[in-house]
Structures are given as structure tokens and as C-alpha cells.
Structure 1
Amino acid sequence: MNPDPSPDATRIIRRQPTGSFPAVDAALPDTPEPTAYIPRPTPLAVPPRRAAGPGTAIAAATLSILSGWATAVIATDLIAGWWRTDRLFCVAIGFLTAIAAAAGIGGLIALLLQRQFGRLLICVGATIGLLIFGSLFLAGAKLHPVVYALPALPVAAIVATLLPQTREWARRG
């Protein structure tokens, strides 16, 4: 053993500070700043997406019903007025009306059962309704001025059916 042990020489593990930190040599290259403490991000609760309500689907269904009614009234008036002069035209209008009614009713039921295919059927039925209204104008029928505003119903049914809220509501089914 060492005859004159100093208190620092006998300790293997230092338990006391030994003094100030050594001075930084100015000749050393610039070292980057030490990284600052970056706190861990706190998790945020993401609010759930608001489920689309049935409002636009109900509006689309209502407009589809009104569009089908207007199409049937116009088709009936065309067939009754033109039957004696142009039967082929009347048969074509009757056929288109039957297709529009089948697509409209089927699409209406499917949409209210929240099936995506119902939206397509309503659009097909309303488009055929627009074709019937177009034939009304091509035929040159003299009707009340209100009848000329009725094509707005199929257009409104198509717009309400294609809204994103209606799509989301039908997708949940």
C-alpha cells in the first residue's frame, strides 16, 4: 500500500465535484450548438367525421318523385294530343316514360335503402325525363308556360342525387 495516501488517491469513484469545468480552447473548430430539448408531441383527439344525415337523400327522393310525376303528366299529354297524327312518336314517348318510371321508382327505393346503385338509377330516370321534355319542345306542342319550367325538376333531382352528402349517406348502407 501507499504509505502517505491522499484522500483523492484512495477513492476509486469520486463522489464530490473536482472543480470547475475546463476552459474551451479557442483554437478548436466551431462545433454546432447543442440540440435544444424538443418536447414530445402530445396526442390530440381527432374528432370523428360528422356522419352525413339523410337530408339530401330525402331531398333527392322528393325531387325524384316530383320529376317522375311531371314526366308522366307531360308524356300523357303528348300521347293524348299526338295519337291521331303520329303513333310511332307516341309509342316512343310511352316506352321512354315506362323506362324513366322504372328507373326512378327503383332508384328511389334503392336510395332510401342506402344503396349506391339507387343514385345511378335516379340519374338515369331523370335524364330520360329530360329527353321526354326535349321531345315536347321538338314536337312544337303549345302548352301552358308553367310546363316549360318543369324540366328544372329532373335537373334538381340529378343535382341533389350527385351531392357528396347523398353519396356519403348512401355509402353507409
Structure 2
Amino acid sequence: MTSDGPPSEETRIIRRQPEAGAPPTSNFAEQQTGIIRRHPTGAFPATPEPQTSFIPQAVPVPSVAPPQAPRQQASRRSPLAASATATVSIISGWATAVIATSLISGWWGTDELFCIAIGFLTAVSAAATIGGLISLLLRQRIGRLLIVVGSIVALMIFAGLFVAGADLPRLVYGIPILPVAAITLALLPATGRWCD
């Protein structure tokens, strides 16, 4: 076997020689190429269908909920109490801010310290009421507490006006009803169910 001449019949195909005493193969293609083939021994095995999820196909899905459940849930979570609480809180906060602004502008020349205290209490009441309104409308339980705190601070402002003996119109004496109504509406069980 030299590499400088053209390939001969002996060197063109490299074959495996059968061992001594082995029966000769009858397949001519296997003798020529020496390729060992595996022939199928039976029918093709059935391939399983690929699964696309981990949920079995035979799980029953409930079709319809009982008709009574949504009505009871809707009646328990009515937004009417929360809407009334929000409306009364807005009106109460507006009235408190108007009275405090009027008092501060009228008394600033005579008692600055009292006016600063009323301004601070008004800012605290406004922040608590606004935060409570937003939280209540987002159905968070903290909203009810913030509305109650803002209304109590508003009642403190009105108490300060009455203790100071400020000359106020008769309508102002009825304004503390608004914070009391806001506290009552915020503490109603219906408002609590709305926030749950």
C-alpha cells in the first residue's frame, strides 16, 4: 500500500474481515461497506401525546356558582355607606378650612400664637381627611381611621373657637355636626365591609 499510486481495488474500501470460523454474511451491501445495520423487530411504538400543562384533562370545572352568593355579597359590600362617608368628610373638611381661614385672618393682629395653633390643627385635619378619603375609596381599612382622626381634630378646632369666645355667626355653631356625622358614618359596619 503506497500513497504515490492510484488507489487499487484492495485499498479503495477498507473492510472489516470476519473472524475465522464466522459464517459468511449473505447480504452483499453489508459485505461491500461493512456497515452494521439494526433492523426493526416489530411494529413502531406508539408515541404519547405531548402534555402542554400540568393540569390533568379529566379535572371537572365547576360551571356556575349558586345564584344566591353574588346577591348576598353585593348587598354586604354596598358602596352607599362609603360614598356617604366620603361626601360628608369632604364637606366637613371644606367647612373647617373656611372657618379656620376666617378666624386666622381676623385674629392675626391680636393673638398670633392662637392663630398658629389653629393653622397647625387645620393642616393636620386636612392631611388626615384627604388621606382617609383616598384610602377609603381604595378600600383600605386605614381610611376609616384617618377620617375619624381628621374629624376629631376638626372638633378640637371648633372647641377652641368656642372656648376663645370668638364672635361667630349662628351658622358656625351648627358646623360641628359635620365632623360628628363623618365619624359616625366612618364607624358604620357597612363602611367596614366596603373596606374588607
- The alignment's TM-score, normalised by the length of structure 2, stands at 0.62
* Rg (Cα) greater in structure: 2
Q: Please give the per-residue CA displacement for 1:46-90, whole angstroms capped at 9, x wherever unaligned.
A: 954433210010000000000100110111111111111111110
What is the total number of aligned residue pairs between the two structures?
Answer: 127
> Any residues of structure 2 matched to 1:18-97 within 5 Å, and which?
47-48=68-69, 49=72, 50-97=75-122
Match of 2:162 in 1: 137
In 1, Cα distance between the equivalents of 2:135 and 2:128?
Answer: 10
Residue 103 (structure 1) shift: 0.3
Structure 1 stretches of at least 4 aligned residues deviating more than 6 Å after TM superposition: none
In 2, Cα distance between the equivalents of 1:77 and 1:140?
Answer: 15
Match of 1:30 in 2: none
Letter of the 2:141 partner, please give it: Q
Structure 1 unaligned spans of 5+: 1-44
Q: Aligned pair 1:114/2:114, yes or no?
A: no
CA RMSD of aligned residues (A): 1.4
Letter of the 2:190 partner, please give it: Q
Query: Is the partner of 2:145 in helix, strand or coil?
Result: helix
Q: Percent identity over the alignment?
A: 59
In 1, Cα distance between the equivalents of 2:164 and 2:101?
Answer: 14
Q: Aligned pair 1:157/2:173, yes or no?
A: no
In 1, Cα distance between the equivalents of 2:188 and 2:132?
Answer: 15
> Any residues of structure 2 matched to 1:5-20 within 5 Å, and which?
none
Q: Please give the per-residue CA displacement for 1:83-131, whole angstroms capped at 9, x wherever unaligned.
A: 1111111001000000000000000000000000000000000000000
Structure 2 unaligned spans of 5+: 1-65
Relative to structure 2, which stretch is displaced further, 49-58 or 145-154?
49-58
Which structure is richer in relative contact order (CA contacts within 8 A, separation 6 or more)? 1
- The alignment's TM-score, normalised by the length of structure 1, stands at 0.71
